[in-house]
Amino acid sequence: MSGKPHPKPPSSRKRRTKEMTAEEQRARILWKTLDVPVGCVAHHCILQQKLRDRGHSDKLWDFRNRLVLTREEHERYHAGFAPVWRDQLPDAVWEFAFELDGSEIGGYFNDWLYRKYPVRVVEAA
C-alpha cells in the first residue's frame, strides 16, 4: 500500500454489486435481463455517472433509460468504432431526460443526449 488517498471522493466511486442492497441488485438484474434477447445487452442511454453526479442515484435502473443493442453494436460503440444514432433512442429516453430536467426544455440531460448521440446522415442516391 502506498498510503495515498483514493483519487476519487467516496460519493463518486463505483459501488460494487456486493455493496448494493437486495432491492438494488434485483432492479439491476431485471434491467439487464428482462426482454433482452440472447446475444444482446442493455445500454444506459444516459450514463450512470451522469445520473449520480446530478443527484439521481435512485434512477440508475429506470427502464426508460435503456436501449437494447446487440453485443457487437455495444462493444463497437464503447470502443469508439460506431455510434449509436439519435434515431435509435426510444421515445422513453427523451421523456426520462425531460422528467429529470424538471420539465425544462433544453435542460442538462436533454442537451447531453443531443451532444452524445449524433444524427444519422443519409446520402441521397
Q: Does 43 reside within a domain?
A: yes
Which is higher by pLDDT, 85 or 17? 85
Strand-pairing partners, residue 68, are 42
Q: Does 104 reside within a domain?
A: yes
Which range of residues forms the domain containing residue 105?
Answer: 20-116
With a threshold of 0.85, does the pTM exceed it? no
Yes or no: say if 70 and 102 are a contact pair by the CB < 8 Å rule: no
Measured CA to CA, the distance from residue 108 to residue 46 in angstroms comes to 11
Q: Does 14 reside within a domain?
A: no
> What's the whole-number mean pLDDT along residues 106-125?
91
Measured CA to CA, the distance from residue 50 to residue 97 in angstroms comes to 11
Question: What is the number of structural domains in the chain?
Answer: 1
Q: Does 61 reside within a domain?
A: yes
Q: Does 24 reside within a domain?
A: yes
Q: Would the pLDDT of 104 be above 80?
A: no
Which is higher by pLDDT, 30 or 1? 30
Cell of 6: 483514493
Give, for 89, the enclosing helix (H) or strand (E): none
Q: Does 42 reside within a domain?
A: yes
